[in-house]
Amino acid sequence: MNGPDGPRGPVYTSTDYPPELTLPLHNELSYSDAYPDRIYFGCLVAPSFGGATTLGDSRRILEAMPAAVREAFEVRGVEYIRLLGPEKGSGYSWQDAFRSDDPSELERRCRGTGARWNWLEDGFVSIVERRPALARHPVSGEAVWFNQAAGFHPAALDPATYDELIRIHGDESRFRLNVRFGDGSPIPAETIREVAAVIAREAAPHAWQAGDVLMLDNLLTAHGRAPFRGERSIAVAMS
C-alpha cells in the first residue's frame, strides 16, 4: 500500500472501534486512490462473546440497491471529506494518516492523487477526495458497490453521538468525517439510510476460532465487525 492511509506495518491489529458498537460492512480504503486487492485476517484471540467479522458480497450489495440510489451514486460519484488533527499519535492526525511530519509531503501526495487540502488556523487540515462509487473487478469485470459513503455520512452516527458532536463543534463542518456527492451536492440522510439498510441485510457473520485465517478479495467482499465482550485480537495484513 502506497496511499496515505495504508497499513501501519506488514501486519497489524484490526480496528480499535469501541467493542460495543457495530462496524458496518465496507471495502478497505475504498475512499482512497490506493486500496488493497487482498486482505488477510488471522485470529490470535477469539472473543468469548460476539465479535464476528461480518462479510458481504459487493456484487449483491450493488444489485440490491434501489435503482434511483444506484444511479445517483454511479453518475455523481462520491466526495470524501476528512478533518485531520495536529496531535501526532492520536490515530486521527495528518502525521499518522500520511506517516510523515512534513506538511509539504502531505501536499505532494495530495497533488499526486488529485486530493484537495486546506490548512486551518488551529493546525487541522481538511482533505477532500473525489472517487467513483462503483468499481469493476480487474479480472471478472463485474461491477461492485465500492464506497464508504454510509460510513462517512453524519447520518451514520447514533443520535447521542451526533448531538454531542454538534454541541462541541457547532455544525457538521468540524466533524472528523463527512461526505457528499462528487458534484458537491449533499447526500440526503434518507439516501444514506437506504444504503445502510441494504448493507446491513447483506452482512453474514464469520465466528472466529483461535488460529483461523481468512483471506478476502477486497473488491468482491466487504467486511465489518459485530459487537463483542472480553478480549479479541485479530491480526490483519494487506496486499
Q: What is the pLDDT along the chain (239 residues), one digit of tens a residue?
A: 333 444 445 677 766 778 998 999 999 999 988 899 999 999 999 999 999 999 999 999 999 999 999 999 999 999 999 999 999 998 899 999 999 999 999 999 999 999 999 999 899 999 999 999 999 999 999 999 999 999 999 999 989 999 999 999 999 999 999 999 999 999 999 999 999 999 999 999 999 999 999 999 999 999 999 999 999 999 999 99
Helices 189-201 and 67-76: crossing angle in degrees, nearest 10, is: 110
Q: Domain extents for the chain?
A: 12-238
Alpha carbon distance 236, 11 (integer Å): 6
CA-nearest of 224, 198, 219 to 14 is 224
Superfamily of 12-238 according to CATH: Clavaminate synthase-like (3.60.130.10)
The full DSSP string for 187-218 is PPHHHHHHHHHHHHHT-EEE---TT-EEEEET
